[in-house]
Amino acid sequence: MRRLMNKLVSRSLSVAGKWQQQQLRRLNIHEYQGADLMNKYGINVPKGVAVSSIDEVKEAVKSAFPKENELVVKSQILAGGRGLGTFQNGFKGGVHIVKADQVEDIAGKMLGQILVTKQTGPQGKVVSKVYLCEKLSLVNEMYFAITLDRKTAGPLIIACSKGGTSIEDLAVKYPDMIIKVPVDVFKGITDEDAAMVVDGLAPKVADRNDSIEQVKKLYKLFCERDCTLLEINPLAETSSNQLVAADAKLNFDDNAAFRQKEIFALRDPSQEDPREVAAAKADLNYIGLDGEIGCMVNGAGLAMATMDIIKLHGGTPANFLDVGGNASEGQVVEAFKILTSDDKVKTILVNIFGGIMKCDVIASGIVNAAKQVALKVPVVVRLEGTNVDQGKRILKESGMTLIIAEDLDDAAEKAVKAASK
């Protein structure tokens, strides 16, 4: 995703000694979905149609844009940098402005293809839809975002009179042009707040009062839809003196899924890590990393400590996986399926400190997982706590070849050694 400038709102955490972007609680939706949502709130957006086949492209050009000479063709993936990306079929650029009679050809080179950008990683993401938009005559480009700010404990509006390019770069080159307007979450946005934002945007041709109303509508959307991020880059002025959200990104708090069913129905699992999708279905907390030692731990704190000690002994964790305190035997089996689906994993380390979580449940899960999954890598097990003796007995009587560890340090050392063989 296009990240907000590091100095203002980015937060990160150290995972096993390696800095990584913090995994936020968020649902990410496609550009065309965000545009449709903003349109419902009265926010100015370009006219556009999302299509998923060549037949739909033909129909859209004919029915939605009969008088347009040029259209913008945008690949739809949940990652930034599309314009400078390259498809695995060799076609360059995920965003193109083309003549109306070329739309079909360009869309055909995108649909069903893998687009690689600086944010997707080398594996890229599949383009299942393209977004056909009217070409606007832009006279000015600005940056606008609303996010949640820990310091002010509420929404923070960020605006810059320059936009259309990386906000991180703008923050370095023009730090004085970026303004921040905290909004009192109890009072809501005031006319004065919105006016401060508009003054920071410094529109050249758009009506000031209309611009203030657009800012207030954007804030209303942010709050009513439980957004964690609403980012528009660029927020543009057109030759018709309108303020338009030319490109937008919206994220939503996963904790609000129960009251935002319409929004969360928009989730596109094809754009997510399949392991994380499987983990979410099994109610497991999983984050894929790049190492070689798969981890299954109960409790986030113990999971973090386990990854740190793996790193201390010279290894690298392949994931963060917290099975929680009430995991069932079935969840343990699913956890093993997820771990073994990662080709990079050379060893699995199970580290359980049984409190609410019982060691015998974990042990039974390991045994059943071995029956369902071909375990081709060594498994290091450290059990301690509730029903630990029963758990160890279940493992011993299973006949499985396991590496038993006495404590966490011993487990990490044995896991790193096994992974290096």
**pTM of the full predicted structure?**
0.75
Are 277 and 334 found together in one domain? yes
At 158, the amino acid letter reads I
- Structure tokens of 320? 């963060």
Domain CATH for 88? 3.30.1490.20
Are 155 and 126 found together in one domain? no
Are 184 and 125 found together in one domain? no
- Structure tokens of 295? 């981890």
Is 356 marked within a binding site? yes
Are 319 and 212 found together in one domain? no
Residue 20 domain-assigned (yes or no):
no
How does DSSP assign 279-317, residue by residue? Answer: HHHTT-EEEE-S-SEEEEESSHHHHHHHHHHHHHTT--B
Domain that includes residue 384, residue range: 273-420
Q: For 144-177, b where at least 16 C-beta lie within 10 A, e where not — what string?
A: bbbbbbeeeeebbbbbbbbbbebbbebbeeeeeb
Distance CA(222)–CA(69), nearest Å, equals 35
Distance CA(45)–CA(411), nearest Å, equals 55
Inter-residue contact 386 to 417 (CB < 8 Å): no
Residue 248 domain-assigned (yes or no):
yes
Residue 111 has pLDDT above 80, yes or no: yes
For the segment 335-370, what is each residue's pLDDT rounded down to a tens digit? 888 998 888 999 999 998 887 788 898 888 888 888
Q: What is the pLDDT of residue 280?
A: 82
Residue 387 domain-assigned (yes or no):
yes
Distance CA(112)–CA(53), nearest Å, equals 9
- By annotation, the residues acting in catalysis are 143, 231
Residue 31 domain-assigned (yes or no):
no
Residues in the chain: 421
At 131, the amino acid letter reads Y
Are 83 and 208 found together in one domain? no
Residue 382 domain-assigned (yes or no):
yes
Q: Domain end: 264, 296, 317, which one?
A: 264
For the segment 146-177, what is each residue's pLDDT rounded down to a tens digit? 999 999 999 999 999 998 877 788 888 888 89
In the DSSP assignment, the letter for residue 79 is S
Residue 90 domain-assigned (yes or no):
yes
Is 188 marked within a binding site? no
For the segment 204-255, what is each residue's pLDDT rounded down to a tens digit? 999 999 999 999 999 999 999 999 999 999 999 999 999 999 988 899 998 9
Are 232 and 305 found together in one domain? no
Are 289 and 405 found together in one domain? yes
Q: Domain end: 108, 135, 162, which one?
A: 135
Are 327 and 394 found together in one domain? yes
Q: What percent of the chain has pLDDT over 70?
A: 94
At 349, the amino acid letter reads L
Are 67 and 153 found together in one domain? no
Is 141 marked within a binding site? yes
Helix (H, G, I), strand (E, B) or coil at 264: helix
Which residues, listed in sequence order, are joined to residue 321 by a DSSP beta bridge?
Answer: 286
Domain CATH for 343? 3.40.50.261
Residue 97 domain-assigned (yes or no):
yes
Are 75 and 176 found together in one domain? no
Q: What is the pLDDT of residue 26?
A: 67
Is 255 marked within a binding site? no
In the chain, how many domains are there?
3
Are 283 and 406 found together in one domain? yes
At 188, the amino acid letter reads G
Residue 152 domain-assigned (yes or no):
yes
Is 189 marked within a binding site? no
Q: Domain end: 219, 239, 264, which one?
A: 264
